[in-house]
Amino acid sequence: MNSLLSNHAWYELISPVTLIMAVLLCYWYFHAIIKKPHYGLTNTQKTYFFTSVSLFFLVEGTPLDVIADDYLLSALVLQVSVMAFVVVPLFILSLPAQYLSVFFWRHKRTKFAKKLFAYPWILALIFNGLVTMFLIPSFFDAIHASSLLQFLYEVVLVTFAFLTWWIIIQPYDEVADNSYFKRLAYVFFTALFLMPIGIFLLAVQQTLYTSYMDVSGDLIPVLNVVYDQQLAGALLKILQLSSYSIALFYLLKMWGISDSEQEEQDDDKRVVQGIVIQLNERNRKNKGRKR
Residues 6+ apart with CB under 8 A from 240: 81, 85, 191, 194, 198
- Burial of residue 87, with CB atoms counted within 10 A of its CB: 0-12 exposed, 13-18 middle, 19 or more buried: buried
| Largest pairwise CA distance in the chain | 105
Distance CA 139, CA 154 (A): 14
Q: Find the mean pLDDT for residues 155-167.
A: 94
If one compares 217 and 129, the residue with the highest pLDDT of the two is 129
Closest CA to 109 of 169, 175, 45: 175
pTM of the model: 0.84
| Alpha-carbon span 131 to 77, nearest angstrom | 10
DSSP secondary structure string, 118-142? T-HHHHHHHHHHHHHHHTSHHHHHH
Averaged pLDDT, 281-288: 48
Does residue 155 have a pLDDT over 70?
yes
Q: Which of 58-67, 198-207, 233-242, 263-272 has the lowest mean pLDDT?
A: 263-272
Q: How confident is the model at residue 272 (pLDDT cuts 50, 70, 90)?
A: low
The ranges assigned to domains in the chain are: 2-290
Q: Is the pLDDT of residue 261 over 90?
A: no
On the question of pLDDT at 5 being above 80, the answer is: no
Q: Which residues of 95-121 are buried (b: 16+ CB within 10 A; e: fewer)?
A: bbeebbeeebeeeeebeebeeebeebe
pLDDT digits (tens, 9 = 90+) for 106-151: 656 677 777 778 888 899 999 999 999 999 988 998 898 888 999 9
